[in-house]
Chain A
Amino acid sequence: MEELAASKNWTEEERLELAAKLDAELDAFIDGLEKKRYEEGWPEDRWQEEMDKHPFFMKRAPQPGDEVHPMFEGLQKLKYDPEENTREELALNYKEDGNFYMKHKKFRMAVYSFTEGIKSKCENQDVLAVLYNNRSAAHYFIKNYRSSLSDAQRALFYKPDYTKARWRAAQCAHELDKFDVCTQLCEELLEVDIDHKEAKALLHKNKMKKLEVERNQRKELAEARRRASRLQKLKDAVEQRSIKFDDQRLNKKLDITEELLRPKFLPLEDYPVHLDEADGSTLIWPAAFSYPEFLFSDFQQQLPETATMLDCLQTLFAEPLPCDKNQEYRVGNVNVYYENRKVGCVHKVDMTKTLRELMDEKSFFVSGGSLLFYIVPKDSRVEQEFIHQPRRPMVYS
């Protein structure tokens, strides 16, 4: 053809003729091709469905478990296949993913992505530093302060001048009450940039928190000491008076514990025996006064050992007992008894004696951390029944 074109001078007619001939040849060729139906297109009725599956047009990311479009799979492979990418490219790809999730506040997904990036074991320290730093940020937003701190510190390991990571580490340390770590990190930040306002503020805030924690610890310690000292004084006072408790065998060495002194009667629960704060030497006891006639008990929460039984009765009968129809329960008309549960007998109380003197009596035992007395009208049937009531001595298992 080229010789023809070169040597010949074409006329308009000859040109037109050639063009028509070429057109006809083309048509013939096309007609000669195998006729195939276009099958790869989407069926018309399901075009929306197909569109949703196509990676270019999908509106929703495929969820785990979904069937994946082959093109999508191909793209995935391209991006994530270790054979297609160098370690660094892989790491950077995961980093991009992570950053994308961060932007959309999907922090757990971000952690996952950054983790995969880290697992790629790329050798570029700067990339690793960024991956750890970003994962630290993700952890921070979901309040995993421990993980965040650990990641920020790893980032610093790979890039010691990574200010962003250091700042985040400082904030994590503060959240975790790691005061010294926080101080150290803030000071490092200020060494690099003395005008780092946030670091200065955090340094101060951290110090205040630390001081408060320390002060509270000291306060607790002081209170514990005070409690212990009070208990010791109480123990000494009780031992000094050789007070007897029926919760323990006589000849066994008495171990005075808070438990032993805890009142077992509900109304007396909050008033265990204690030393009078004013004079530091008078014991104040919780006591129960039982009325066998009425089968009910009255409770006196704070009786000084210097009080006599007369004093007690005066308080008890200041107002007449509601159940005392015959007005028998008056000072001078009643007898008071205490019980020796070990032996199983009762003893009459000398009204003029102080509680301390009473407790000194051979048969008196403190029972259930409290003093227990029984009140009956003098020379009455109630009294007789009470005295002769069968009692069994206490048995120790």
Chain B
Amino acid sequence: MDSVKELIQFMQPKQRLDLKAVALTHVLGLTGSSDGKAAILSLDDMLMAIFGLTFDENQTVAKDAVLTLINLTAEEEGALKIFALAKQIQPTFAIVDIASKQICDEQAGLADAWSMVLSNLTRCESLVPEILNQLEATLPQLAKAFAKLDYNKKNCKLHYLAPIFCNLTQVSRGRELCCHARYQLLEKLLPFASFEENVVRRGGTIGILKNVCFDSVYHDIILNEGDNILVAILQPLCGPEEFNDEDNDKLPIELQYLPETKTRETDPDLRKMLLECLLQLCATRRTREILRAKGVYEILREYHKWEAKLGRDSECLLACENVVDILIKKEDEIGLDNYKTIEVSAEQSEKFVQEDAAYVKSLLD
């Protein structure tokens, strides 16, 4: 512990470069273990030193400092501590502000690293409202940086902006800002639900979709004439199969005549999330009718065949069947307008969960 304390003096901005670098490297190494992390998190002075070094002229030192922050914020405890401390100290270390400025800076070499810090911080739901306040003004710029693939000229890919946005949508204000028609943020983010090249970007975007779908307030926006969101959900589930003319005409235009090279989402967890989105959208009668009209059943029919034969994930199959079951029924069979208003007792729900588990096992041979 004391040895760690001793390092603090070497991590001051005015120190010799080699001393700073070595001390920081050591600290970075410590963050690899949970003991090391705990030790560092307990030393406010150490944390302040790290904050300071993120501005160091020497790029390696600065980078190591930010990497250290990434590791320290990886878990909730560390993230909360760092965020609180950064606010408390004099002068304040405006960590959110700094991160977002770096991300928006086309010439920033550390943009990716800072985005990971921000991603870690936003994962803590309790911190999101405050972070959202600080980020609100720069959201359009962040969306632009995200949407433009070669935005950063120093080779930073900014993929972690996707989980950042996803985390922000954990709270309703975040969802509100994302879906706000004026800023059209969602429009910019949506295409990346099918971004094959990077799973972080893709997964983050799908996470956004899921958070938005779970809030029924947004179902109207989702199923407006625009089709954007529905297409973003369905596209990863579509394959190269051809539909007959009648079915084809129902589909949204982006999903018609997909080329024979079209592949489906490879990660089963992501597939499941998409299906859960669709399930959420089946809640009310109006939205169910829209889904049927857009050919969602036909798409899932083909998807189910593929999942059974090639995807082979039983939870996905179950998730798919849940949606199909609802879409197949006629409205008078369903009889009620909003699934979410039904009351299910605790023992009933436990029974359902067990039945599902047993069923899932039987799905694949």
Contacts and interface: CB of A to CB of B under 8 A. Distances in A.
Contacts of A194: 140, 182-183
Contacts of B259: 218, 221-222
B242 A215 contact: no
A218 B258 contact: yes
Interface of B: 140, 144, 182-184, 242, 253-254, 256-260
Contacts of A219: 256-257
A225 interface: yes
Given A221-B259, A225-B260, A215 B254 contact: yes
Nearest to B141: A191
A45 interface: no
B257 A218 contact: yes
Nearest to A226: B242
22 contacts: A187-B144, A190-B184, A191-B144, A194-B183, A195-B182, A200-B184, A211-B253, A211-B254, A214-B254, A215-B253, A215-B256, A215-B257, A218-B256, A218-B257, A218-B258, A219-B256, A219-B257, A221-B257, A221-B259, A222-B257, A222-B259, A225-B260
A212 interface: yes
Interface in A188-216: 190-191, 194-195, 200, 208, 211-212, 214-215
Contacts of B140: 191, 194
Contacts of A212: 253
A194 B181 CA distance: 11
Those 5 A-B pairs whose CB atoms lie nearest each other, nearest first: A218-B257, A219-B257, A211-B253, A222-B257, A215-B253
A222 B183 CA distance: 37
B25 to A, nearest CB: 42
A219 B258 CA distance: 8
Contacts of A221: 257, 259
Nearest to A223: B257
A194 to B, nearest CB: 6
Contacts of A195: 182
Contacts of A208: 253
Contact of B242 (A187, A200, A222): A222
Contacts of B183: 194
A208 B256 CA distance: 14
Contacts of B242: 222
Interface in A164-200: 187, 190-191, 194-195, 200
Contacts of A218: 256-259
A344 to B, nearest CB: 50
A219 B243 CA distance: 12
A126 B144 CA distance: 30
A163 B259 CA distance: 39
Nearest to A218: B257
Nearest to B147: A187
Contacts of A214: 254
A238 B257 CA distance: 30
Given A200-B184, A219-B256, A219-B257, 12 more contacts: A194-B182, A195-B182, A211-B253, A212-B253, A214-B254, A215-B254, A215-B257, A218-B257, A218-B258, A222-B257, A222-B259, A225-B260
A192 B183 CA distance: 12
A218 B254 CA distance: 10
Contacts of A191: 140, 144
A212 B182 CA distance: 25
A221 B262 CA distance: 14
- Most chain A beta-carbon neighbours within 10 Å: one of B140, B256, B260: B256
Nearest to B252: A211
A221 B242 CA distance: 12
Nearest to A208: B253
B114 to A, nearest CB: 23
A195 B140 CA distance: 13
Nearest to A217: B257
Contacts of B260: 225
Contacts of B253: 208, 211-212, 215
A141 to B, nearest CB: 31
A190 B259 CA distance: 33
A191 B184 CA distance: 11
Interface string A88-131: 00000000000000000000000000000000000000000000
A190 B188 CA distance: 13
A190 B254 CA distance: 25
A187 B188 CA distance: 11
Contacts of B254: 211, 214-215
Contacts of A187: 144
